[in-house]
């Protein structure tokens, strides 16, 4: 382990040029982030995070960078690294690092050792708050820096897989500080997971391959929030969508939505494009590769790179080569070629041209992150160690800012209606 891993600028040949390009990307994104813009006013004026040190492991690209700057402008010292070795934009990382309250260790394409060294370097700042996408920072603090736990007021977790791991840790009695399940709140999950993952995964696959979805059999592994988005947007691009599931109600939902529902064993033989969104492992394995058609595309939109079993694929392959930037072709003994996009890592962030979710949805997700961090500082005594839902009033606060920015007016309950809804006494 090393807590001497250098910030990003020491890894770049031309840091000044990188900073300028990163800043340009951040400025573009910020124009479409009314929630972060509105929160910035009060964060700058009130300095709610003064004195806090925030350790972050997130996808370091332009939208995240605007959240990081918001937290720093709100008074915090922030140290950040990536939560995936392929999703960092070095120029954005460099632009962030130029902020006097921010140190960024995120570098694209690092090996496992450097990836974890950067994580240790972040924790060496002695955080009082952690912000994660996948829970790696919480895990590192608990396993290797337990002495920090007493001074940590809490954390916030961005994604389904991270929340899933945190709940497992909490159930084992191991989670020793409060963490908000940002992923699970409506303003995040109903937009980011559904629309964000749907749009950006399909757009990234299309741009990386220069191929169309129209008329193709697109197999979506998992019909959760992300799977629903991918299926809906693929159908909207005239694909024939096939869903695989292990949960009976989700399988039924997909069926009632009009999609074909099949076991992966059957879908494997008919799919042209496969997109996994389960948060689980080994969704596509050896027996599936053996029956797939020549030329299929394999992509993963789940958090970790374990949904498409690449070890199985490597074992079956007689040859392997880069077919396009971001596309690795595996040639089978019978001559079929199976194409893996972005090394089976979450495709919308790890492919070479990937930009992640659209800016608008990340504005919502990161608006929730920002108000959760503020809440941890302002009301830390209200939260015991464990996983916490985002308080509904915070979710509403962010929704209201967004609706106002979009110029969308909506109704409110009259006093009579409120009384009626709160009463059990009215009957027929």
The answer on whether 224 is annotated among ligand-binding residues is yes
User: Long-range contacts for 232-240 (Cβ within 8 Å, ≥24 apart)?
Assistant: 232/194, 232/198, 233/198, 233/199, 233/202, 234/198, 234/202, 234/275, 235/259, 237/202, 237/212, 237/213, 238/213, 238/214, 239/213, 239/214, 239/215, 239/273, 240/215, 240/216
Closest to ligand NAI by CB, 23 vs 188, is: 188
Identify which range of 103-111, 165-173, 271-279, 379-387 contacts ligand NAI by CB under 6 A: 271-279
The answer on whether 50 is annotated among ligand-binding residues is no
Q: Cβ distance 178 to 388 under 8 Å?
A: yes
Non-local (6+) Cβ contacts of 252 within 8 A are none
Closest to ligand NAI by CB, 191 vs 213, is: 191
How far apart are the two ends of the chain, measured CA to CA in Å?
Answer: 69
Helix (H) or strand (E) holding 169, with range, is helix 160-171
- Enumerate residues 173-192 that contact ligand NAI by CB under 6 A: 192
User: Does position 283 bind ligand NAI by CB under 6 A?
Assistant: yes
What is the nearest approach in angstroms of ligand NAI to the Cβ of residue 158? 8
- Enumerate residues 302-321 that contact ligand NAI by CB under 6 A: 302-303
Closest to ligand NAI by CB, 105 vs 191, is: 191
**How many CA within 13 A on the CB side of residue 25?**
22
Phi and psi (nearest 5°) for 2?
-140, 135
User: Does position 22 bind ligand NAI by CB under 6 A?
Assistant: no
Site size toward ligand NAI, by CB under 6 A: 29
User: Does position 197 bind ligand NAI by CB under 6 A?
Assistant: yes
Identify which range of 7-15, 105-113, 299-307, 333-341 contacts ligand NAI by CB under 6 A: 299-307
What is the nearest approach in angstroms of ligand NAI to the Cβ of residue 85? 15
What is the nearest approach in angstroms of ligand NAI to the Cβ of residue 366? 13
For residues 271 and 398, give the distance between their C-alpha atoms in angstroms, rounded to a whole number: 40
For residues 359 and 320, give the distance between their C-alpha atoms in angstroms, rounded to a whole number: 35
Q: Strand, helix or coil at 338? A: strand
Annotation: binding site for NAD(+):
159-161, 193, 222-229, 245, 280, 301-303, 348, 357
Interface contacts to ligand NAI, rule CB under 6 A? 159-161, 192-193, 197, 221-227, 244-247, 250, 277-280, 283, 301-303, 346, 348, 357
Annotated binding-site positions for substrate: 133, 158, 188, 192
């Amino acid at each position: 382990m090393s807590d001497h891993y250098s910030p990003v600028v020491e890894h770049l040949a031309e840091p000044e040029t990188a900073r300028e390009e990163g800043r340009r990307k951040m400025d573009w994104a910020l124009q479409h982030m009314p929630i972060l813009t509105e929160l910035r006013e009060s964060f700058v004026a009130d300095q709610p995070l003064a004195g806090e040190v925030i350790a972050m492991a997130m996808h370091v690209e332009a939208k995240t960078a605007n959240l990081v700057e918001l937290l720093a402008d709100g008074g915090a010292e922030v140290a950040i690294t990536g939560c995936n070795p392929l999703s960092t934009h070095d120029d954005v990382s460099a632009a962030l690092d130029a902020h006097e309250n921010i140190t960024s260790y995120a570098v694209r394409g690092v090996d496992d050792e450097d990836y974890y060294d950067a994580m240790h370097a972040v924790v060496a700042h002695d955080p009082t708050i952690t912000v994660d996408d996948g829970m790696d920072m919480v895990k590192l603090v608990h396993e290797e820096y337990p002495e920090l736990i007493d001074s940590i007021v809490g954390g916030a977790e961005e994604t389904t897989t991270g929340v899933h791991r945190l709940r497992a840790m909490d159930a084992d009695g191991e989670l020793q500080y409060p963490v908000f399940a940002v992923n699970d709140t409506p303003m995040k999950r109903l937009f980011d997971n559904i629309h964000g993952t749907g749009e950006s995964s399909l757009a990234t696959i299309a741009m990386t391959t220069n191929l169309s979805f129209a008329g193709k059999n697109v197999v979506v592994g998992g019909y959760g929030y992300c799977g629903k988005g991918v299926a809906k947007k693929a159908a909207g691009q005239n694909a024939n969508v096939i869903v695989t599931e292990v949960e009976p109600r989700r399988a039924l939902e997909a069926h009632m939505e009009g999609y074909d529902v099949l076991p992966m064993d059957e879908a494997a033989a008919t799919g042209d494009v496969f997109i996994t969104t389960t948060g689980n492992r080994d969704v596509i394995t050896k027996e599936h590769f053996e029956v797939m058609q020549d030329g299929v595309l394999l992509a993963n939109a789940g958090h970790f790179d374990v949904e498409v079993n690449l070890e199985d694929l490597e074992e079956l392959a007689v040859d392997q080569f880069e077919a396009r930037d971001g596309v690795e072709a595996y040639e089978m003994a019978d001559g079929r070629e199976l194409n893996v996009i972005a090394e089976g890592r979450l495709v919308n962030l790890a492919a070479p041209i990937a930009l992640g979710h659209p800016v608008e949805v990340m504005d919502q997700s990161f608006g929730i992150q920002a108000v959760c961090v503020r809440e941890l500082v302002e009301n830390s005594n209200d939260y015991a160690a464990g996983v916490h839902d985002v308080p509904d009033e915070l979710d509403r606060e962010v929704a209201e800012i967004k609706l106002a920015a979009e110029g969308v007016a909506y109704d409110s309950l009259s006093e009579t209606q409120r009384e009626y809804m709160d009463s059990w006494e009215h009957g027929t």
